[in-house]
Amino acid sequence: MLEDFTEEVRAFLDQELTPELRSAGQQTSGLYSEIPACRVWHDRLYRKGWIAPAWPAEFGGTGWNYAQRFLFERECALNDAPVLFASGLRSIGPLIIALGTLDHKERYLPRILSGDDLWCQGFSETGAGSDLAALQTRAIKDGETYVVTGRKLWTTGAHLANWMFALVRTQRASKPQDEITFLLIDMATPGIRTSPIITLDGQHEFNEVVFDEVRVPAANRMGAENDGWACAKHLMRFARSNNTNSSVLRRSWRALERTLALHAGTIETGLRNRITEIEIELASLESLELRLLESGRLSGDDEVGASLIKIAATELQQTISELMIDVAGPYAIASTSLRDSNSLLANGSYSGRKYFATRAASIYSGTNEIHRSLIARHLGKIAF
């Protein structure tokens, strides 16, 4: 049964992944592939009915079980499919399905599925990352409108998205979590200014977004006023299960294999042995992830399973990118602008970009220190 499913996925990928799409997948060093390729790949998955593997079938999802979803992601990674920019599919879409009004569902879900709307997440601010409840962006009610003023930071894809889901402060109360509201904001609204933040790898993926008296209809609120913290916690249940996982690592592993192929014959035994050890760690991580998926511990309220995978996967991803640098040697300092070829220089340039980009993996989706604290708190509750 699963063999048949895997064959069906492979046949689809064989047919639909053009050399250009595979090349875009291979060139991805950050969180998503170049946007034109993302759009083409999104459209092909949408037409096939496979764009939302984790959504219930009644809302346009595939209805696949955990093993099918795992295999699908793995096959996409092994075939270098583009990595979608998919906060809509992975974060806000599932939240709208769970908590949205009928109007929200009718208005937003079809356009997330079709790819007409791209969403970004406006949570973090200066001084409000790990301590998110300290956020300062304010929304003042004016009739049936909220007037939003403030500044969001590290907003991935804000320059591409036409919608943002955001947390804003709506009143002063004794507990910071009790005064936050969750809003859906049209990025074309007057008063929004987006500026790029260029990362160490030379890429433009995230941004600063400034709100200057931006008027947001009250109908765009998720949940009740001042109940945004509960919405955000609900959203993190979905986001957690989309953290860095073994399919992301398979992509990194394929990049390492390409680098190895270019440097065949020049790799010393010690490095080769280390690479074999890391390949075994990757297989172990896949096995752990499957076991946690099977027992339902990578979704819902189980923070510990998701935290375990987040830490293990991001640290292994960083190790794989370090191995790429070791293999590429001096070529890894090539200019970040070299692309699209299998030459030693272009591959070295990619290895450098990938190394810098993966430094961020232990910071986003909750820093690894915060995830370690979550695990420690959980262990503290267990009587040995």
Ligand X SMILES: Cc1cc2nc3c(=O)[nH]c(=O)nc-3n(C[C@H](O)[C@H](O)[C@H](O)COP(=O)(O)OP(=O)(O)OC[C@H]3O[C@@H](n4cnc5c(N)ncnc54)[C@H](O)[C@@H]3O)c2cc1C
- Judged by the rule CB under 6 A, the positions of this chain that interact with ligand X are 120-124, 129-130, 154-156, 206, 360, 363-364, 367, 369-370, 373
In the complex with ligand X, the residue whose CB is nearer, 207 or 347, is 207
Least spacing, CB of residue 72 vs ligand X, in Å: 24
In the complex with ligand X, the residue whose CB is nearer, 314 or 347, is 314
In the complex with ligand X, the residue whose CB is nearer, 156 or 247, is 156
Least spacing, CB of residue 316 vs ligand X, in Å: 17
In the complex with ligand X, the residue whose CB is nearer, 46 or 364, is 364
Encode 233-279 in three state secondary structure. Answer: HHHHHHHHHCCCCHHHHHHHHHHHHHHHHHCCCCCCHHHHHHHHHHH
| Of 318, 336, 83, residue with least CA distance to 202 | 336
Least spacing, CB of residue 84 vs ligand X, in Å: 15
Residue 224 neighbours by CB under 8 Å, 6+ apart: none
Encode 151-203 in three state secondary structure. Answer: EEEEEECCCCCCEEEEEEECCCCCCHHHHEEEEEEECCCCCEEEEEEECCCCC
Least spacing, CB of residue 162 vs ligand X, in Å: 15
Place of tokens 């009610």: 141
Least spacing, CB of residue 142 vs ligand X, in Å: 25
Q: What Å distances lie between residue 168 and 122, 172, 196, 231, 320, CA to CA?
A: 9, 12, 22, 12, 38
In the complex with ligand X, the residue whose CB is nearer, 79 or 207, is 207
Least spacing, CB of residue 360 vs ligand X, in Å: 4
Least spacing, CB of residue 205 vs ligand X, in Å: 7
What's the CA gap between 213 and 210, in Å, rounded? 10
Least spacing, CB of residue 244 vs ligand X, in Å: 11
**Which residue has the CB atom at the shortest distance from ligand X?**
129
Report the run of H or E that residue 146 belongs to, with start and end.
Answer: strand 145-156
Sign of CA dihedral 296, 82, 96, 228: positive
What's the CA gap between 38 and 51, in Å, rounded? 12
Rg (C-alpha) for the chain, rounded Å, is: 21
Least spacing, CB of residue 12 vs ligand X, in Å: 30
In the complex with ligand X, the residue whose CB is nearer, 41 or 85, is 85
- DSSP string across 268-324: -HHHHHHHHHHHHHHHHHHHHHHHHHHTTTTSTT-HHHHHHHHHHHHHHHHHHHHHH
What's the CA gap between 126 and 108, in Å, rounded? 29
In the complex with ligand X, the residue whose CB is nearer, 21 or 86, is 86
Burial of 265 from C-beta contacts in 10 A (0-12 / 13-18 / 19+): exposed
Both structure tokens of 348: 């070295």
Least spacing, CB of residue 153 vs ligand X, in Å: 7
In the complex with ligand X, the residue whose CB is nearer, 262 or 363, is 363
In the complex with ligand X, the residue whose CB is nearer, 9 or 96, is 96
| Of 90, 86, 94, residue with least CA distance to 38 | 86
In the complex with ligand X, the residue whose CB is nearer, 121 or 347, is 121
